[in-house]
Structure 1
């Protein structure tokens, strides 16, 4: 390591750090020296056969050097590095792939290049001894070095885009390369996954290449760096079982959207066409899922699926899995229009899912088994959720997609109808092909030019779901009992209403809550006026759709269905329930009826109420029990009443709840994983419990409750937030996990509220009376 400083104290701290970290060679130079000089100095003091240049901004995964050395030795080249790289954007919590290769050859793996990223250079010491860094340049020393390497006749070869992550912090001024996230995204960057995907990369197991690790005879690789700051990454895994990934690993061949969704539910190995065999041999794969795709994560699967053609890589994957008894699953999400395109590929797989229920008989005629099932589209709560959806909307209407009237004439007419009704209301059209002049026949007509803007990456678009008052949708397939636009479910899960053309599958799977079905210009105009004129009424309709989606139409459900169909002993997880704790004094028995009704009217089936009644004196116990029996008309296994005549409960809310939990645990069985408290004087609507539980699905909050609420007179409180993370919640509304509450209650001192992450749902289904 070489440290650049003119400060004696800084130098002393650096040398001390080097000793503590057991760095082999530590050198200091004056601040006036150039980076080329520092690189040469480091290499003069090194003893390795190979050298690599590390940048303190970036992350080098465990297989990084193995891959580089394997590439040098196998292909007999002088220098290797990365031309296309993964970037983690901290401000967006997103992983993107930046393609620097040419359009003609979009995948740069093992291709010669003029230059590679300076922070990824790996070469032999012998090469450096003949071509040293220029120590007089103020910038561009890496580019100059590579230029002279090429002039000497040496080949520069690209390694894969994997095993390396360029980390872009939120604060631009902390980087040497002053480029904004927006500028970087425009420079051939493509969304791969959200920050959750970092966990897979950090495992260094998803993207390994078929190289052997260097033998013990290989000397140490020396690292040249100009700073001591490193990068420690990786989001902490979710604490609650309710949100954690299932304990299975999927080998996955899919496009970006499906990959992002599946990887939030199981560990994913993104199968690559050039290294699939190594991946399947190295990893313990439980199921291989292949979807009808167009390009894959980074164009690696483009043109591998087309009519009448089965890619040899797909054949090889299926044959390998059959020998190893790994179940294989194919999902044709493009049925019915692309049945012929994918049928030859689909017929190889053990289990087949189709997005068009009417085609199940056609598959059964063509495949050698009966494992053909229906699966339409779902939402992924980690990506598609109502967090922040109650903020003021920035725009009125939006349509995202392509025109493609020459392929689907009815689609063209439907888009015209929706946009003609929207132009004077304020509409934004994200055109999928705006930046692709070769698809001029798929772009929008000139009359919509004022509304059309270029498409945005997927992770940006799903954030825009919440910026508009409503989205417009066209179902290209109308007559299907299961096929409909994927975007509808994602938008509704994000808390935004949809104005859509008819679709049989949409009505059957999603319903009409939050969806305004229109089939004419007058109907479209009326629906738009209705949604824009009553945004609160529209939100209440969307709430009904969200409940259905988070319970029945999530990718967790799809993944579990795949496991149950492909693994004989797999049992789907059951629904989660909630235990309600409550307490009242014997002098407050008039509130008993309100409490019992609030609990009994909850639509959540898996629920339990444990009520503790504090009696003032022993002579009123019979009176209390009589009142309880008359209020609870029939015996219910869901309700347990404990009459308590011991010490008075502590006044502090948390301490009181802990005492309630203790009594409940001593005298009955707490049956559910989530705990909340009902105040007898408050009113809880029928969806209070299930709405709170849903929030644990789509947030990483430790406590969920209410912030804004209805007052006694029916008015809405002036303060408070809805669908936001907050500092505190209203007493009598908080729900948390049983394990967390038990942990809190075991502590000698209650932790500060800042120790927990609070999420406030909306104001509905709760009132202070």
Structure 2
């Protein structure tokens, strides 16, 4: 490296040190591959080929080499603590080397107390010495003092056997220099220089590449050991470099006798397919150019091959004496630790985990493969999670106690702290997890657990002598038998009396005169009374608590079981009484009270953010409508999601203020062209760093505040490259094109990627009537693209086929094409008679609901999931769709959407839909159901938040079906109709008379889903139905009618698009003398004024002001629900499928009606 290059690199080095806030280190640099520094301005030079120093200074001039300290002022206290044992008082020093010229070389050892410099020792080169240390010495510092001019070489500078001078020739291997803190080797020549102060390299090699090799030239990582049976490696390669420097990471896989090389450029993440049968791999860097570069992370499936310098962490760890269990936590039993990329990685070389989390970010890692145990009742557990944890890392052991009824209790213990926990007595199991926060390192983790007996601070054994128990009743006598108290009761039925302990009155408002025990507010009390008694006697022990002057509370305790009571804080004393009832004998065998200190566990969870609370799944899932989602959306997407959750919009100028106030659950950004009313135009996507800066800052803020981030590219596959670099910033990535998922995984270097196609928003796109009669035509609303050859051919085939049966076109560009503008978007002349103008977005119902068929043209035809929104939206409106060919449509709507590029097939589709009403209605109905079941924006949102670990409830409402059965045949028929229903969130209440053998059915069918009730009992007991039924909806099944399997499902599905109080079938099928007739066929999907009880669902609260007896009468007679609309209630009539009035005895085929 010539002198000019050296000067340029020195300038670059100074800039880096200033930026790193290491100004004090600018005058100093490390002697290559050592911990010794020299001043860059001094005339001392190091030749790494023969490890000699040349000094060119005046005879009386002096310079130094300093060990680990970037200064030559020995009066100040050193920054680093000496690794030597200074307590023994003496140090044996060997200082050996070679010297030429007029040169004096000394090893300088400075002593320090905790507060100041104490004295200095000098050991001349090639002299051995033993120095004595004062007892108050706390630290020492090493330096080499050099006076005069000449040449010297140091072979050893050892103290008590520890050599502090590492001969750099030991760090040369096959012409490579060694970097011990990273376990990397680099070319040993003047073309590449490593600077330890800035942990970076200077290179001057334009004509050839220089290599850096992990572990040495012959080192390989065995796949069987490190990454056994993996299909992919997830690689992240990050650092800094000058623009004229090229840095590439290469992974060389060995497959038996062959190799395969994969390269990744600096600041890229990639997913690499591991070659089949590969048995090892080697990693190295190739660097070329002139300038500076620095490697920060090389992570391969969680293993970091170039971590930042590890920290010296105090090893003085506490321990539990004689623990019962020790759990080792390492990369083998910390589950999925290697799936978090830069956030958490492991370095085999120094056996440390590296944490890189921002602000409120956290990781919750399950622990498996350890010897599980169930905490014993009444035991206290001393638990110590311990390990080497750096200062800026917050590490906690999480414990989830599993309790009955799916309840849980969470504990968290910081590492290197002991906590005492007494688990609930009802505990069923426990799980451990590791919670990680902060930035730094940890290693050597274990958990020590010791089981300790419960502490009893005081015990009272109550006297059972009859003289100690007071009663003044002739009907109650007391006597003693051996060690027991015998109570003989002759009390009449319904009479209860009291016996008091050591108090000669039964007036319990009076505080006791004698103290049984002093009540400690920091203790709990275990009461245990053992009794033998006749079944005819009732005995309830009572504890009465008092303050100094009044009664505070009364509590009952169990007989022949332990009762633990935590007294009210104001209680200072107690009385004990027995409440007695009935006739017979009662024997008290023992009565004890134990005082136990309350274990006030400080293992209280400290939640990083609300997402962590969600992940514990302790709180009830909140309704999906309560999700708060910060968004950057275009208009269409916003309109679809805003009906499902709280959508929070913001601009590049006010995002921080808005999000700080609103505290969203997540951030979701789509591949927006305009974004939030145009405020984010050209700021999402690759439009240059300056345009993207607000988005970068927004995502950084979300990371700092623990808000998960989601990106949705709705423009794949066409605009993949436009948005891929933005997608890299997000926690999760979704795409409309499932075929692009592998490409994302490859480019992002992780698997947090999934397909999320378009959907429908039922609040906007639904089958509720827009016009009384639809046009008996097909409708196309969109644009023509003559410059997209395949698309225009497909579109013309569709339009030609439709034109034979009825066609209207709404041209999106009509205002311009009608004036001769936009020729590439002008429809061919033969279609111009069909053009009716254009439609605004708010007029889209005219296309979706005003015509019997809509048409769709796809530009992307081979995607498994990507096709136009209009397909979902039209189907949700009950409008069948005919489309050019799309693989995705065929996959997702086969048999529902007609998709083809063939003209004759398209003609057949249009003919079937426009000329065959039976086919039309069937396809229309199936399309509505398929979209509502699988393709709504509520379901898309549920999928997103579930991936993030946010617990929500997005289920459809529960329905209670009510039936009335006069006999066993009615009952079995109603149960058959109920069991046929495909809808799962349901239960059946049957009101029965006391017919013959009704009790047999009562025992047979009373379960969680089906319950039988005596009719008169329910009518008398429940004045109102809301006191009997707790579900959101009720439905009445008539014993005379037929209910198809999707009857309930279709009715409940309508709640996706309407808040109507009654949803039913004003239009319905009826069995009249064996023939099916359709009543009021025109009344589908419209609001009506009346519905029959037997063919609708109703919001239960509608009847909250109506007597149950009155409602029962309506159900029994199937009396029309009429008049409710006058109260402001809405009644919606939907389809006429899946129900036949009087269908119980219908013997014909129901398949045509049961869709």
TM-score (normalised: structure 1):
0.61
Instruction: Indicate how the Cα distance of structure 1 residues 312 and 684 shifts in structure 2: closer, same or farther if over 3 A, else same.
Output: same
In structure 2, the residue matched to 1:500 is 883
Residues 447/307 of structure 1: CA separation in 2 closer, same or farther (3 Å cut): farther
Shift of 1:550: 1.1
Residue 561 and residue 430 in structure 1: after superposition, are their counterparts in 2 closer, same or farther (change >3 A)?
same
Q: How far off is 1:379 after superposition? A: 0.8
Normalized per residue, the structure richer in strand is 2
Q: Relative to 1, partners in 2 of residues 1:604 and 1:389: Cα closer, same or farther, differing over 3 Å?
A: farther
Counterpart among 1055, 1067, 1073 of residue 696 in structure 1: 1055
2:1095 alignment partner in structure 1: 733
Aligned counterpart, 1:758 = 1131
**Residue in structure 1 matched with residue 703 of structure 2 by the alignment:** 322
Task: Measure, in 1, the Cα distance between the counterparts of 2:671 and 2:911.
Answer: 38
2:843 matched residue in structure 1: 460
Distance 1:448 1:682 in 2: 51
Instruction: Return closer, same or farther for 1:335/1:747 CA change in 2, 3 Å cut-off.
Output: farther
Q: Counterparts of 2:666 and 2:675 in 1: how far apart (Å)?
A: 18
Residues 707 and 720 in structure 1, CA contact (< 8 A), matched pair in contact too? no
Give how far 1:473 is off: 1.1
Task: Tell me the CA shift for residue 658 of structure 1.
Answer: 7.0
1:414 lines up with 2:794 in the alignment? yes
Partner of 1:533: 915
Structure-2 separation of matches of 1:243 and 1:499: 40
CA contact (8 A) 1:514 1:543 kept: no
1:272 to 641, 647, 651: 651
Are 2:667 and 2:708, in contact at CA under 8 Å, matched by a contact in 1? yes
- 1:357: Cα distance to partner? 1.3
Displacement of 1:396 after TM fit?
0.6
Distance 1:327 1:607, change over 3 A: same
Q: What is the match of residue 488 of structure 1? A: 871
1:472 paired residue among 855, 868, 884: 855
1:296 is the counterpart of 2:684: no
Q: Does the CA contact (< 8 Å) of 1:400 and 1:432 recur in 2?
A: yes
Deviations 1:723-747 (A, max 9, x none): 1111111121231234444465589
Counterparts of residues 526-605 of structure 1 (less than 5 Å): 526-566=908-948, 568-586=949-967, 589-605=968-984
SS in 2 for 1:289: strand
Look up the SS of the partner of 2:844 in the other structure: helix
Equivalent residue in structure 2 for 1:516, among 872, 894, 898: 898
SS at the partner of 2:1091? coil
8 Å Cα contact 2:1063/2:1134 also seen in 1: yes
* Structure 2 counterpart SS, 1:246: helix
Matched-pair contact (CA < 8 Å) for 1:245–1:267: no
Distance 1:737 1:242 in 2: 22
Moved more, 466-475 or 541-550: 541-550
Q: What displacement does 1:752 show?
A: 5.0
Q: Secondary structure at the match of 1:538?
A: helix
Contact 1:243 1:696 in 2 (8 A): no
497-506 vs 382-391, which moves further? 382-391
Q: Is the 8 A contact 2:644 2:938 kept in 1?
A: yes
Per-residue displacement from partner, 1:331-383 (whole Å, max 9, x unpaired)?
00111111112112222222110111121122122225432111001111100
SS at match of 1:704: strand
Per-residue deviation, 1:748 = 11
Alpha-carbon distance in 1 for matches of 2:835, 2:631: 35
- Distance in 2, Cα, partners of 1:627 & 1:564: 42
For residue 351 of structure 1, the aligned residue among 718, 728, 732 is 732
Q: State how far apart, in whole Å, the 2-side matches of 1:626 and 1:559 are.
A: 47
- Partner of 1:528, secondary structure, is helix
State whether residues 962 and 1035 of structure 2, in contact with CA within 8 Å, keep that contact through their aligned partners in structure 1. yes
Q: Find the partner of 1:383 among 745, 757, 764.
A: 764
Contact 2:983/2:1048 (<8 A) preserved: yes
Q: Which runs of 5+ in 1 are unaligned?
A: 1-240, 651-655
Q: RCO higher in 1 or 2 (8 Å CA, sep ≥ 6)?
A: 1
d(CA) in 2 for partners of 1:643, 1:533: 53
Partner residue in 2 for 1:642:
1013
CA separation of 1:490/1:398 partners in 2, compared to 1, >3 Å: closer, same or farther?
same
Are the structure 2 counterparts of residues 282 and 768 from structure 1 closer, same or farther at C-alpha, using a change threshold of 3 Å? same
Contact 2:780 2:847 (8 Å CA) reproduced: no
Mapped partners of 2:1016, 2:806: distance in 1: 65
Contact 2:624 2:954 in 1 (8 A): no
**CA shift digits 1:647-699 (9 cap, x unpaired):** 9x69xxxxx9977776xx3xxxx574321111111221211101110111111
Give the aligned partner of residue 1067 of structure 2: 708
User: Does the Cα contact within 8 Å between 1:469 and 1:535 map onto a contact in 2?
Assistant: no
Aligned counterparts of 1:646 and 1:563: Cα–Cα separation in 2: 46
Among 654, 677, 700, the alignment partner of 2:1036 is 677
SS at match of 1:736: strand
Distance 2:678 2:660 in 1: 24
Q: 1:242 to 1:305 in 2, by over 3 A?
A: closer
- Which structure has the larger Rg? 2
- Asked if 1:427 corresponds to 2:807, the answer is yes
Match of 1:286 among 660, 665, 670: 665
Q: How far apart are the structure 2 equivalents of 1:608 and 1:748?
A: 23
Q: Does residue 247 of structure 1 match 2:639? A: no
Q: Determine if contact 2:668/2:709 at 8 Å carries over to the other structure.
A: yes
**Does the Cα contact within 8 Å between 1:598 and 1:683 map onto a contact in 2?**
yes
Give the count of matched residue pairs: 504
Contact 1:243 1:697 in 2 (8 A): no
Q: CA deviation at 1:521?
A: 0.8
CA contact (8 A) 1:318 1:348 kept: yes
In structure 2, the residue matched to 1:441 is 824
Q: Which secondary structure state, in structure 1, belongs to the residue aligned with residue 710 of structure 2?
A: strand
For 2:1013 and 2:1061, the matched residues in 1 are separated by: 28
CA contact (8 A) 1:381 1:493 kept: yes
- For 2:1110 and 2:663, the matched residues in 1 are separated by 44
Distance in 1 between the 2:771 and 2:1009 partners? Answer: 35
Is the aligned partner of 1:256 residue 2:635? yes
> Per the alignment, do residues 423 and 719 of structure 1 end up closer, same or farther by CA in structure 2, a change over 3 Å counting?
closer
Counterpart-to-counterpart distance in 2, 1:355 and 1:516: 21
Alpha-carbon contact 1:398-1:468 (below 8 Å) kept: yes
Which residue of structure 1 lines up, in the alignment, with residue 315 of structure 2? none
- What is the Cα deviation at residue 495 of structure 1? 0.4
2:131 match:
none
Q: Distance in 2 between matches of 1:284 and 1:766?
A: 48
2:693 & 2:1057 partners in 1: Cα distance?
39
Partner residue in 2 for 1:123: none
- Who is 1:401 aligned against? 782
Q: Deviations over 1:703-759 (max 9, x none)?
A: 211212112221111477211111111121231234444465589999951221111
CA pair 454-301 structure 1, distance change in 2 beyond 3 A: farther
* C-alpha displacement of 1:636: 6.7
Q: CA deviation at 1:264?
A: 0.5
Contact 1:683 1:766 in 2 (8 A): yes
Which structure shows the higher helix fraction?
Answer: 1
